[in-house]
Structure 1
C-alpha cells in the first residue's frame, strides 16, 4: 500500500490506447503524468520519482528500476509482461500487475477472420475482381484460388488459456475437430492434450495463443515446419517471437504450409525490409498491425481493469499480480 499522501502516476505510452478511450479517475489523491510515447533513453528520468508506472510496451529493465527510487507498482496495460524485469522488481518489493481476460471475444474473432479469409482465399478473389478477372471470365464464377471448408478439418491450438479455449469453442461451432497441444517438450500432460509433434503433423489449421517466454521463443521453426504433413494454415495472434519468421518465409516458398495469418511480429512496428512485410506480397499471407486485441469493447475493458488494478494496490489488496518465474 502506498503511504504517500499524493501518489505520482506516470503513463509512459498513452498513445498505445485510443485518445477517446478515457481512464476512469483514480479514487485516491494522485498526480497523473501522461506521455504519448517514451524512448528507451527517456525511461530512467520519467520513472525516477514515480510511485506508480503504467506501461504497455515500454520496457522497464533493471536500470530503470534502479533509477525509480519511489516506485511501488508497475501496472502493465497489457497481458504480456516480458518487457518487465520481474526479478529486479521483486528484489525491490515492487509489485507488477497485468491485464487479464479482457480480449476473450476480440482475439478469437480476429483469429477466425484471418482463418476464414485464408481458407476461402477472400483477399485473392477480392483482388482478382478489382483487377477485372470476373468481367473477363465469361461466366458467373471462376476457380483461380482454392476454397476449403472449416467443417471436418482439424484445428490445432497451441496455448490452453482463456483465448485458446474461446478459439476452441468457435472451432467446434464450425464443425472442426479441436486438438489442444501439449507444451513443447513436456510429455504426459494427460488425455486432454495431444503431443506437440502430433498436433503439427495432423492439423489443417494451427493457431498460437501462448505467452512469449524463453521456452516458447521460436517454438515454430524449420524443424517444426518440416513436420506439418497436412500443409496447414498457421495463425498467430499471440506474440511475434513464437515463430522463426525467416523459417516461416522458407516454409511458404516451399509449400510446407498453405498460408499464414499473423497479427504480430518480432519487431513492432516492423521496418519495410522485415521478413513478414516482404511476405505480404504473397496471396496466401495476411499481416495485420497487432490489432486483434483492439475492439472498442476490449480496449474499454482493458482501461477499466487497469484502473481497478491500480486502485486495488492502493487499497492494500493487490490483484493480477505477476511473480517472477522460479528457476
Structure 2
C-alpha cells in the first residue's frame, strides 16, 4: 500500500527542480560599471551562475553553467537576465537570450529550444531579457542559459550579478518515462468510497494507478511555426500555426471562424488550469524606426472574452524583436484559444521573425481541475 499510495504522493509533493539566482561576477571595471559577468560583442556567452545561491532537488551541476536533467519528463524552464551596457547605437543594440539543451537521447529536446531577442535602447541602462519553454527532456541531458550581444556593439557590457536581476529555473511538470509521444491518460473521476462498500480492483486502480498515470503524462500540446504580413492599414492578424503536436486527441488545431485562416485556434478538451507558454518574433522593414507591437491571447467560449496581453517595441528596421510569455489560465472544455498580433506605427508593415531556436511557439499543459 505504501508503494502504491504513500511513496508516489511523497514524490509528487516534491518533484525535481533547480533554481539558480545571481550570475558569477567577473573582473570589476572602474568608472561606474556595475558588478556583472562580462558580455563580449559577437559572442554567444554561457551564463555562469553563483554556486552559493542555487537550490537543487535532483538536478546536478558540475560547472554552474549546465544543469543536468535527473530523469525523463516534461519540464518548465525559465531564464531571466538583466543586461547593462554603457553605449548604444541610435537604433538600439540587439540582445538575444537562449535556453539550450544538449546531450539528449531519443525524443528529448536538443539544441536552441527557446529564443527571444530584445533591443537595448539606453546607454548606461539595463534591459531585461526573458525566455521560457515547456519541453520534454531525457535523463542525463542538460540545460543552460545563453546571451548573445550584437557583433557591432561597442563599449562595456555585462549581465547584472544581483540575484533579482538574473535567474534560471526549471521544475518538472510530469515524469513521462515513456517518451514525448506517449498518449496522455484522461483526468480521473476520483469518485469517493462509501462505508461498508467492498473496494474492487478497479476502484483501487481508479484512485491510485490511474491518478498517477495521468499525473505522469499530463495532456499537452505544442504548436510551432507561423508567418504573417500585416500592413499598417490592417493592424492585426490571428496567428496561423504550421503544425501542432498533442498527446491527447482532444486538442485540435482548426480555423477560428469564417473569415480567418486555417489553423488559427486550438480547441481545449478539459476544464481546468493550463500552463501556457509562448514566444514569437516580429520585424518591420519600412515605416518608422520606433514602433510598437503586441500579442493578445483570446479565449472563445463560456469563460468570456478573457485575454493575456504582452507588448514590446522595436527601434531597428529589419531586425527581429520578440516576446516571451508564460502564464496560468483557466480554460473550459470546448473553448478555443487563439493568439492575435497587433502592430502600431505610421506606414509600418510587420512580418514574422525568422530567428533560430524554435522562436515561434505556442504550447500549454493541463495542470488540473
TM-score by length of 1: 0.31
Give 1 or 2: higher strand fraction: 2
TM-score by length of 2: 0.28
Give 1 or 2: higher helix fraction: 1
